[in-house]
Structure 1
Amino acid sequence: MALFSIDRVKICRFSACVPFRVVENLESSLFSSEQELKKYISTTGVERRHVAEPDICSSDLCYKAAEKLIEELGWDKSEIECLIFVSQTTDYIYPATSCILQDRLNLSTECICFDLSLSCPGWVYGLSAISSIVSAGRIKKALLLVGETVSKTRSPFDRVNLISGDAGTATALEYAENVHPLHFDLHTDGSGYKSVMIPDGGFRNPVTGESLKYEVGDDGIERNRLQTHMDGATIFSFAISKAPKSIKNLFEHFELDQQSIDYFVLHQANWMINERIIRKLGLDVLKCPNNMRDFGNTSSTAIPLTIVCQLGHRVQNKKIIATGFGGGLSWGSVYFELGRVVCPELLFL
């Protein structure tokens, strides 16, 4: 069981950027009737999404969020010594997008940069990786950039597309003594890797002419092999089982008082999943901010995006548990305490 704590790391601030373009789900033509469409929207909790134009990548959204964050903090860019970029919609197969962002942000060549390829629990995993580096004490300031343009990976005939939104986020961290440790619970079950995947386009299954052909799958959805294939029933069962257990692990292992937690920031999968998790744990729904109505499921960016949009100034001096779960299969939770953190207004690109 991957339960551990990381000391001497302070989360300084969050920022987020989404595309200007908004797609209203009520305008979808994927349903046979308006009544059926409205029922789907009510069940998922997603009314609209911000969708990137073809020339906007997840790195562009993260770049804008990072620039604003650095400006708000008044940081000297030469002092930022680590940048981790978390995404499954990177600019290229290689080089690492983090290297490109280092140059765009005009950071020092002494800055450590690397990518992490994870989807929905990516922010939690990325936070554990970057915190481990900062905690050692040699690196004082660091940026965790998490971005996704998942709308580009969906079939236009797939109803799941109606809950898929795009966003880029930035989280600033620095070395600090006498701060409360971050507590983590992380897990992986690779036996379920086929539950959410894009079959072709990597080196296991390179792109061929067949990759572009649309075919109707067992679920009745028409898609090609360069678009996301998801076993919805498996993911639903996985999410409502693993996420509550992960949060309970934090309670039990670190002797946390559930009532003392100010907010539970769950991955914004869809309302049907999150409502079940909230009910299983007996959580106060008012402590579980919901960002799905206007942004949908933005994969690895969902947690920091929700903090920026739904908590904002209310995030100061709060105790938070954040939980991510999704492709891999992987899942995890983190407990952290925030000081005088102020989130800048949501940015648009």
Structure 2
Amino acid sequence: MPNTIIIGSGSYLPERIITRDHFMDSEFYSDEGELLTKPNAEVIQKFVDITEIENRRYIKDGEVNSDLGARAAEEAIADANISKEDLDFIIYASNFGDVDENGMSNFMPSISSRVKNKLKIKNRKCINYDMIFGCPGWVEAMILADTIIKSGKGKLILVIGAETLSRVTDPHDRNKMIFADGAGAVVVKATDEENVGMISDKTVCDNAEELMFLENSPSLNKSAEQKTLYIRMHGRKIYEYALKNVPDAIKETIDAANLDIDDIDKILIHQANAKMDYAMISRLFKLYGKKEYDHVVSPMTIQELGNSSVATIPTMFDLIRKGKMANQSFKEGGNIVFASVGAGMNINAIVYRFPTKK
């Protein structure tokens, strides 16, 4: 049975850098629909203290999600040194598709097919899939790619994660400061080399009372037009759910790979909110009897890039792989974890082992 290895990566960060000053004139409302009377500077500072998000990237006018994804894909294909016509599949993870400047979400034709068109791929046997799975979408797309490769149905797959959350946020919701835009992509390939690539994975879907912890709903400002739906987070419930369930899922994935936490060089976890990420990683290490951990093991991009949903992990992977993150690198033969949690609620994790150069 073949294994699945990453042979190329790419990412695209929109040029617009949005600082805290961007939100100083916002009119914020509570979850109960009450106008917040605290000065915006105080509201924003409290937000930064919890999330650590100082900056985020927003897409330019006239662009859409698939434009970002196509740029990241072009870079990944070039980095992999392959012909785009040799791709067997394109799997595109997003939650809102191509959102226009009025907040209208568009999924027809599919985003993966639009990217195939933008890449000018002529191969009719290159199959396109969209993955709608919440923030864990890119990780789940990787799991799907691995399943396809192990089944023998494909040998070369492009996996993209891209989102433009700046266009689906309520202007009156403080949580809009969390969200950002961006894209990341990898090319994966079948290999006969043993004990490399994606060596274990796990997916958990809790879709009962957890279903609407992340949802679309009208503006918090009851005086605003209520027909438009925006992304809405029930933060406390998400935090409690993630802290209880994500560390266990990651540990089970590491255990399935017959590894210990000391064998893991990096944990690339979805950049949701710094406080939550720190808590989840800390709880994971405690499951192994360790009270503390070296934070270099779990890199963070959220402080400067915000939460771009499915794009956070592939973007971070690409930046580290290409030496663009200070004090971060991967090593030959090293083991890393990809892990995410998000709307659904869904959780997933992968243990990935880098091949050793020959």
TM-score, normalised on structure 2?
0.83
1:38 and 2:45 matched: yes
Match of 2:3 among 3, 8, 27: 8
Q: Which amino acid aligns with 2:58?
A: V
Match of 2:313 among 298, 303, 313: 303
CA contact (8 A) 2:270 2:339 kept: yes
CA contact (8 A) 2:184 2:318 kept: no
Q: Which amino acid aligns with 2:305?
A: F
CA contact (8 A) 2:8 2:77 kept: no
The residue aligned with 2:67 is: 60
Mapping of residues 214-293 of structure 1, within 5 Å: 214-216=219-221, 225-282=228-285, 283-293=293-303
Query: 2: distance between equivalents of 1:334 and 1:228?
Result: 27
The residue aligned with 1:187 is: 204
Q: Deviations over 1:54-105 (max 9, x none)?
A: 4222211110111122122221122111101111121323221111111221
Deviation of 1:271 (Å): 0.8
- How many residues are matched? 321
* 1:215–1:286 distance in 2 versus 1, CA, 3 Å: closer
The residue aligned with 1:22 is: 17
Match of 2:159 among 122, 144, 158: 144
Query: 2: distance between equivalents of 1:104 and 1:312?
Result: 25
Q: Deviations over 1:13-52 (max 9, x none)?
A: 2211021111002442246153442232121110000011
CA contact (8 A) 2:9 2:79 kept: no
The residue aligned with 1:202 is: none
Query: 1: distance between equivalents of 2:164 and 2:337?
Result: 25
1:47 and 2:54 matched: yes
Query: 1: distance between equivalents of 2:256 and 2:180?
Result: 35
Task: Give structure 2 stretches of 5+ with no counterpart.
Answer: 27-37, 99-105, 286-292, 324-328
The residue aligned with 1:346 is: none
Secondary structure of 2:344's partner?
coil
Task: Let me know the Cα RMSD of the aligned residues.
Answer: 2.3
Runs of 4+, deviation exceeding 6 Å: 220-223
Mapping of residues 137-216 of structure 1, within 5 Å: 137-179=152-194, 180=196, 181-191=198-208, 192-199=210-217, 214-216=219-221
Q: Which amino acid aligns with 1:19?
A: P
Query: 1: distance between equivalents of 2:321 and 2:139?
Result: 18
Q: Deviations over 1:171-230 (max 9, x none)?
A: 10011101424310101011222111124xxxxxxxxxxx7xx4547xx99976411122
Query: 2: distance between equivalents of 1:145 and 1:153?
Result: 20
Q: Which amino acid aligns with 1:97?
A: I
CA contact (8 A) 1:58 1:149 kept: yes
CA contact (8 A) 1:215 1:222 kept: no
CA contact (8 A) 1:59 1:168 kept: no
* 1:139–1:71 distance in 2 versus 1, CA, 3 Å: same
Task: Give structure 1 stretches of 5+ with no counterpart.
Answer: 1-5, 200-210, 342-349
Q: Deviations over 1:224-269 (max 9, x none)?
A: 6411122111111111111111111123333212111110111101
* 1:237–1:149 distance in 2 versus 1, CA, 3 Å: same
Deviation of 1:320 (Å): 0.4
Q: What is the aligned-residue identity percentage?
A: 22
* 1:277–1:267 distance in 2 versus 1, CA, 3 Å: same
TM-score, normalised on structure 1?
0.86
Match of 1:93 among 83, 86, 107: 107
Q: Which amino acid aligns with 1:123?
A: W
